[in-house]
Chain A
Amino acid sequence: MATVAAPAQPISPKGRSELKAQRVRAAMWFLLPMVTALFLVAAWPLLRTIYFSFTDTTLNDLGGGEWIGLQNYLSWRTLSSGRTIFRGVLADPNWWNAVWNTVYFAVVSVSLETVFGVIVALVLNAEFRGRGLVRAAVLIPWAIPTIVSAKMWGWMLNDQFGIINDLLLKLGLISEKIAWTASPDTAMLAIIIVDVWKTTPFVALLVLAALQMVPREIYEAARLDGVNPVKVFFRVTLPLIRPALLVAVIFRTLDALRMFDLVYVLTPNSSATKTMSVIARENLIDFNKFGYGSAQSTLLFLLIAGFVLLYIRLGRLNLGGRGL
């Protein structure tokens, strides 16, 4: 964060406007490739996804979709018996199950990651022998690709030969082996365990960077005054690291809401863990319901966009100030 100096405006020498115009022209050319690239891979595909969500496009025939209005989202028909049948994503129990799974996963895992991340950061901020080694060790989960961690934990959580069941049995904490990833009762727990393990380092590093900006004298003064360390943490440290913590929570939440790979690999086909991204891809690619899957993708996009706007409003997130 130290590099986030106030942006220095270059002063054009002698204020010659021709030179200035030339610089702006050059700047436009420099920006063109980047803007084109982002338009091509971000803006255009997003618009196409939204367009597809109003059509009955199938995967086999991407160009052959007909405009069907909001039918992918919601449509209803009243039968002659007087009963009304609702169809579309918004009336799809599988979709609402995925929404619930995603939100539940995001709330629980981000909360745990925040708490553990702060604890780990506080430990790393203390001075003790071997701190560098501990910091290196903490970075390891972050360095491991998500797919690899999913497989590693899938093996450790294996019902028959997994070390977790073995350990818990030996310690007498469970009486029989648990099918962690297969059982609907524990599948989500397994996902949350792996995600917390993998991403706590990220939160810890961001918080640690903020902690290191807190002047040591504050702790000294509090210690001399005999203030309870717990009180110091909640009254002094926490308010000071709040901005960094907020950034970490936002980024983690955004990531959690779009989570895909962990579920796809660790608990495939378990309706207890299917997230919005998983179910949307399933419809897009596996079930040949391209338009329907696009509608789900669009809804997830709207949810995340809404979340970002809410945060910018509520947290009065200073985007310029933190250099990002």
Chain B
Amino acid sequence: MADHRLKPITPLGHDVPHSVTLGPVTITEVVDTALASLAARMGEGKAVADIADAAGIPLPPPGKAAKAATYATFWLSPDMWMVEAPFATHEDIVAILKPHFGETASITEQTDAWARFDVTGADLPAMFERLCNFDLRAHGPGSATRTVIEHLGCYVVIRAEGHLSVIGPRSSAASVFHALETAARSAF
């Protein structure tokens, strides 16, 4: 194998994750998460639920996210979830998940398709009501949805009170980050 001296960069093109604090809000790139989508094949819903349960992968209901010891997940669509795992131990996440599920589910690596920005601070609803249709005042921790931010389809996952993740298309990471910054400046 050729000796490539390639240097990994973050979605925003930096050496280390970028972070900015605007008033009470901090927006941080998060690059330590591996992602894979997990879709139960037709008629395998029960089998997938049992396997996931044994493997420590929570499968939350529509509009929800869940977290276990190693894996965190959020609901994507009927019979489909996004699985998050620590990048350091699960870089090849499909190879780790596939032996569990075999032919019952279709698993696709998503890690480098997405850029994740964690937003922390008080009064996030004031910022996100400027950004998207997702009503943070009506949804608490453990909620997750896909919505439109800056004309881009993004997932919003509420991790805890005052902490949420925006997961947007990596190729448009700068646009998502710009939208978040602009909304934070506008709100605070």
Q: Do the two chains belong together in a single complex?
A: no
